[in-house]
Copies of this chain bind each other. A is one copy, B any other.
């Protein structure tokens, strides 16, 4: 081997060594993650409301470890599983802040009637005759399946047999703030409110600390729960650190009745009896004075705005623009499917934005962005979970929906928030990830069996129709 050849060989070896070293350096620097979403428009809902075109999200375990451009993220991580989101929007999973999930089995059982007739002739008898633990489980599976297919990843619930609702929700891989109902009259799972408090304590202790389920207390409303029971519920909430879900000021009649019986409107009354704090989530809040909105702000009380239910039951229009002006932690809720008649957060967003425009006569109130905030980060605030969910940020839990943005009904697109609120439908949601785990991919549910769910629901339908004949 002559000098020329030797130096040539050494050069080649040197370059080869460099290349190998380079490969090794890259392999070491590409951190392993469990899941990467690549491409698409990442709508972060972070503090700066960043929208990242051709973005990416990396997830390790239950947690988001990177959010950025595809180039930034894909270079730094190697994933066990990747989801292609090209041409789609990657958004925080939607948060439904008020439901009675098993009532989905009563979807459309009675409509277009007086509230009293609706409740006393249909809903109450149907519940009294049908609500069992088995009913609640079937209804929860159906409701959770519908919500996941619409991109909802967290829901707040108030119903009976809430422990069974928690079990079904956990099995489906869904996140929930699930409150056991406490009410003064006998209900399917508890004969007295004291029984319901005891049930709640056992239930909360069982689930406390669960990664998906936040067990909660759900005293029904100021007009259906005695003062001392409300106070005991608050005490239990303090002891166990559990949220308090409650209906407040849904109708003018409720306000009038409470003023007559307690001398105060509902929110004021709840404050006077020492009920309000930042663990309270008040559903509906249709009839509120400015002073009550200030009170909610001072006590950091969350609210669940349910425009479609309030419209369908003719309850009234909540003062949402005022609540937003005061920066109240107000989320959106579908309410139970018996008064909506679906669990569709997209229609709830669309309706919320439009309703307040016509009701105030001002097309600039309640913008698409504000409504999308209510369905995500502000909804998380309503649940006091804004440090863990509601936006796509490093360190937050990976609750994510991937949404088609190129349907004919979405073409062309000028503004992402406008399109999410006014043009996108639940059926455009393609994939859903909750707590880092895919629960729907390409519209196929991974944790629930649609056929079984429908079969069970239809079996209950037959029983329910039969039960109302008597």
A residues engaging B (CB < 8 A)?
105, 107-115, 118, 142, 145-146, 149-150, 308, 310-317, 340-344, 347, 350-351, 353-355, 357-358, 360-364, 366-368, 406, 408-415, 418-419, 422-423, 425-427, 450, 453-454, 457-458, 460-461, 464-465
CB closest residue in chain B, given A104: B411
CB closest residue in chain B, given A370: B112
Q: Is the CB of B457 within 8 A of A411?
A: yes
**Cross-chain pairs A/B with CB under 8 angstroms, 18 sampled:** A105-B412, A107-B410, A107-B411, A108-B422, A109-B414, A112-B353, A112-B363, A112-B418, A113-B363, A118-B363, A310-B358, A342-B422, A412-B458, A412-B460, A412-B464, A414-B461, A414-B465, A425-B426
Q: How far is the CA of A355 from the CA of B312 in the complex (A)?
A: 8
CB closest residue in chain B, given A108: B418
A145: chain B residues at CB < 8 Å are 408
Q: How far is the CA of A363 from the CA of B109 in the complex (A)?
A: 15
Q: Is the CB of A343 within 8 A of B412?
A: no
Q: Is the CB of A308 within 8 A of B354?
A: yes
Copies of this chain, count: 2
Q: How far is the CA of A226 from the CA of B413 in the complex (A)?
A: 37
Q: Is the CB of A453 within 8 A of B408?
A: yes
Q: Is the CB of B423 within 8 A of A357?
A: no
Q: Is the CB of B454 within 8 A of A344?
A: no
Closest 9 CB pairs of A and B: A412-B461, A311-B354, A427-B427, A341-B422, A311-B358, A108-B418, A314-B363, A112-B367, A314-B357
Q: Is the CB of B314 within 8 A of A362?
A: yes
CB closest residue in chain B, given A112: B367
A344: chain B residues at CB < 8 Å are 409
A410: chain B residues at CB < 8 Å are 107
Give A129 Cβ to nearest chain B Cβ, in Å.
15
A419: chain B residues at CB < 8 Å are 108, 341
A408: chain B residues at CB < 8 Å are 142, 145-146, 149, 450, 453-454
Give A417 Cβ to nearest chain B Cβ, in Å.
9
Of A110, A111, A112, A312, most buried by chain B (CB within 10 Å of CB) is A112
A464: chain B residues at CB < 8 Å are 412
Q: Is the CB of B357 within 8 A of A312?
A: yes
Give A146 Cβ to nearest chain B Cβ, in Å.
5
CB closest residue in chain B, given A419: B108
Q: Is the CB of A341 within 8 A of B418?
A: yes
A149: chain B residues at CB < 8 Å are 408-409
Q: Is the CB of A111 within 8 A of B361?
A: no
CB closest residue in chain B, given A369: B112
Q: Is the CB of A311 within 8 A of B357?
A: yes
Answer whether A411 and B458 are a contact pair too, CB < 8 Å, given A363-B115, A364-B114. Answer: yes
A413: chain B residues at CB < 8 Å are 107-108, 461
Q: Is the CB of A314 within 8 A of B358?
A: yes
Q: How far is the CA of A411 from the CA of B355 in the complex (A)?
A: 27
Q: How far is the CA of A361 from the CA of B344 in the complex (A)?
A: 24
A425: chain B residues at CB < 8 Å are 425-427
Give A318 Cβ to nearest chain B Cβ, in Å.
11
Q: How far is the CA of A408 from the CA of B409 in the complex (A)?
A: 22
CB closest residue in chain B, given A317: B358
Q: How far is the CA of A411 from the CA of B145 in the complex (A)?
A: 11
Q: How far is the CA of A112 from the CA of B412 in the complex (A)?
A: 18
Q: Is the CB of A342 within 8 A of B108?
A: no
Among B110, B360, B368, B457, the residue within 8 A (CB) of A412 is B457
Give A349 Cβ to nearest chain B Cβ, in Å.
12
CB closest residue in chain B, given A350: B347
Give A257 Cβ to nearest chain B Cβ, in Å.
17
Q: How far is the CA of A458 from the CA of B343 in the complex (A)?
A: 32
Q: Is the CB of A108 within 8 A of B415?
A: yes
Q: How far is the CA of A146 from the CA of B360 in the complex (A)?
A: 31
Q: How far is the CA of A109 from the CA of B427 in the complex (A)?
A: 23
A317: chain B residues at CB < 8 Å are 358
Give A117 Cβ to nearest chain B Cβ, in Å.
9
Q: Is the CB of B107 within 8 A of A358?
A: no
Q: Is the CB of B350 within 8 A of A423?
A: no
Of A107, A353, A363, most buried by chain B (CB within 10 Å of CB) is A363
A362: chain B residues at CB < 8 Å are 314
Q: Is the CB of A409 within 8 A of B343?
A: yes
